[in-house]
Amino acid sequence: MDNFFVYILYSSKIDKFYVGKTQNLENRLNYHNNPKSNKI
């Protein structure tokens, strides 16, 4: 069984919450904190 993290982020810039899930919390947090360096 795979483990997942559920997280809630708040953006004061747009005054909104974001809820997500991931298996790699460190990578996902870096993704959210550095949107210009992300490639999808």
Where do the domains of the chain lie? 5-37
Q: What is the pLDDT of residue 30?
A: 86
**DSSP secondary structure letter of residue 23:** S
Tell me the two tokens of residue 27.
């990578």
Q: Please state whether beta strands 5-11 and 16-22 pair in parallel, antiparallel, or not at all (unpaired).
A: antiparallel
Give dist(CA 14, CA 34) in Å, integer.
Answer: 16
**First CA to last CA across the chain, in angstroms?**
27
Q: What is the pLDDT of residue 19?
A: 94
Query: 4-40 pLDDT, tens per residue?
Result: 999 998 989 999 999 999 999 888 888 888 877 766 5
Q: Are 38 and 31 in contact (CB under 8 A)?
A: yes
Choose between 3 and 1: higher pLDDT: 3
Q: How far is CA 22 from the centre of its chain?
A: 8
Q: What is the pLDDT of residue 40?
A: 56
